[in-house]
Amino acid sequence: MSLRQLQWPWFAILARTGREKSTTLLLENLGYQCFLPVSKSRRQWSDRIKELEVPLFPGYLFCRMNPHNRLPVLQTPGVIQIVGVGKSPIPVEEQEIAAIQCAEKSGLSVMPWPYLKVGHVARIEDGPLTGLTGIVVKIKSGLKLVLSVTLLQRSVAVEVDRHWLSVHPNEGPGAFKDATDSATPVGPAHLSGAQGFPKLIEAD
């Protein structure tokens, strides 16, 4: 990774749906550092089962870039806009990207999840996600750690073992118990109806 790449923050790029991967490759060929979070999905064909990589944030990828020289990114085939407010790009929090990268590399199951802003915060103290902090939810199959990209108001969930968790210092003594022992499981919701998306940047 070059010094030039290190000094720029991550930005969310809105890409044409279905072209996230090819757009990422084009940007990387231009010298940009990109990150396209994916989950693996199995599809049944007539004669075989095929494993596909599906974007965790459909229509989005992440790119380190100079916000004052964004024209090369905007002119890349497949790129629609850069997420921000008005004409100003808004960077994605570094720790949010790092957390999702860690989850993707862990080998654990990762999937899209309804965006969560509040909840019981826990820290992972053991296992492949050690060091991450996120919101813990309980579903029928067990516990999941929810990691969010605040700018996009999108979340992903990764399966965790309750023995890996400890209560975040900012939470009360009963937070972890409430989060993991609730009698009401949390079910997945459809993401396409999410509200409150920020405005998108267009080319000058």
The one-digit pLDDT tens for each residue of the chain (204 residues) are 444 445 799 999 999 999 999 999 999 999 999 999 998 776 666 777 777 888 999 999 999 999 999 999 999 999 999 999 988 999 999 999 999 999 999 988 899 998 987 677 888 998 999 999 999 888 877 889 999 999 999 999 999 988 888 765 444 334 444 443 332 333 333 223 333 334 344 443
Q: Are 73 and 13 in contact (CB under 8 A)?
A: yes
Separation between Cα atoms, residue 165 and residue 194, nearest integer Å: 29
* d(C-alpha 147, C-alpha 105), whole Å: 14
Closest to 39 (Cα-Cα) out of 51, 50, 54: 54
Looking at residue 128, its pLDDT comes to 92
The topology (CATH level 3) of 94-181 is: SH3 type barrels. (2.30.30)
The total number of residues written for the chain in this structure = 204
The full set of domain ranges for the chain reads 3-92+196-201, 94-181
pLDDT of residue 154: 94
C-alpha distances in Å from residue 60, one per residue of 7, 138, 179, 181: 22, 27, 30, 35
Specify which residues 71 forms β-bridges with: none
What are the DSSP calls for 127-183, one per residue?
STTTT-EEEEEEETTEEEEEEEETTTTEEEEEEE-GGGEEE-TTS-TTHHHHHHH-S
* CATH number for the segment(s) 3-92+196-201: 3.30.70.940
Specify the pLDDT at position 12. 98
Residue 64's DSSP bridge partners are 10, 33
**Res 121: pLDDT:** 85
